[in-house]
């Protein structure tokens, strides 16, 4: 039974849970049928249904399909943030990019994410950051569609917008944001710096230049992966980057004095 006063978000790529799983904010993960959930937006392609449930079209009865959903009291968090968080933690962004690169007749295959202790711990960590930090909410919203865009240039703009919400570096966006990425990563920071710097170069040419730059599928994947890695890192440390701390680290490494 779903409480009418609660927000309910269906996560198509999560496996069933036998009993409801309590989560942060007084919420729960639970499993119910399509009929029980009613007219909720599942954000799933019909072509994914056989993939999700391991059955042929002839065997599927939509009203009986079982989905895992989040029921949570109103916490002043946009619904899209919860869906975006789950897309991040289940690597749905990778699947979506593979889907777009696949032929019409050869869709990529994947299994539903098991709702185990590891997943629940990461999900709770993400919820805590969503509840505590408006910047993280904005970053998750801006990242939410970057891997679903048909045009790779729109992916670049989404990824840059997510970084700007995360770091809020002000002027000299290209260099300062790339340096912020460098100091925010604990693995391969040089690669992160170069990727962010190149991505902002494409953004600048697209917005201010006279030519529309080309972005390959490989480049698109690299940009989405960078931002996903950063968001995952923010969840791991339980906080968003501090602007003053980043400025101090940049100045210590490259010279200068803090104010």
Q: Write down the H helix ranges in 17-106.
A: 34-37, 49-53, 79-89, 92-101
What's the pLDDT score for residue 257? Answer: 43
Q: Do 25 and 92 form a contact (C-beta atoms < 8 A)?
A: no
Spell out, as residue ranges, where the chain has pLDDT lower than 50.
Answer: 256-259
Question: What backbone torsions phi and psi does residue 90 show, to the nearest 5 degrees?
Answer: -100, 5
What's the pLDDT score for residue 210? Answer: 62
105: number of Cβ within 10 Å? 5
What's the pLDDT score for residue 171? Answer: 60
What's the pLDDT score for residue 20? Answer: 96
Return d(Cα 24, Cα 46) in angstroms, integer: 31
What's the pLDDT score for residue 258? Answer: 39
Q: How far apart are the first and last CA of the chain?
A: 57
What's the pLDDT score for residue 53? Answer: 80
Instruction: Quote the DSSP letter at residue 72.
Output: E
What's the pLDDT score for residue 259? Answer: 38
């Amino acid at each position: 039974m779903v409480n009418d006063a609660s927000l309910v978000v269906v996560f198509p790529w999560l496996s069933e849970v036998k009993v409801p799983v309590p989560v942060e904010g007084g919420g729960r993960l639970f499993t119910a049928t399509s009929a029980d959930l009613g007219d909720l937006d599942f954000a799933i392609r019909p072509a994914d249904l056989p993939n999700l449930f391991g059955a042929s079209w002839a065997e599927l009865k939509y009203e009986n399909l079982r989905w895992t959903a989040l029921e949570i009291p109103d916490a002043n968090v946009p619904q899209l943030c919860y869906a975006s968080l789950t897309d991040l933690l289940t690597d749905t962004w990778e699947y979506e990019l593979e889907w777009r690169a696949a032929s019409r007749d050869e869709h990529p295959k994947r299994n539903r994410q098991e709702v185990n202790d590891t997943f629940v711990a990461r999900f709770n960590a993400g919820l805590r950051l969503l509840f505590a930090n408006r910047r993280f909410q904005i970053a998750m919203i801006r990242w939410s569609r970057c891997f679903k865009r048909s045009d790779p240039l729109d992916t670049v703009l989404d990824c840059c917008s997510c970084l700007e919400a995360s770091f809020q570096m002000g002027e000299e966006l290209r260099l300062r944001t790339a340096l912020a990425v460098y100091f925010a990563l604990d693995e391969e920071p040089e690669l992160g710096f170069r990727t962010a710097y190149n991505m902002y170069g494409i953004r600048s040419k697209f917005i201010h230049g006279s030519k529309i730059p080309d972005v390959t599928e490989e480049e698109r994947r690299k940009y989405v992966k960078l931002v996903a890695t950063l968001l995952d890192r923010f969840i791991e440390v339980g906080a968003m980057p501090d602007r003053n701390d980043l400025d101090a680290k940049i100045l210590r490494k490259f010279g200068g004095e803090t104010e």
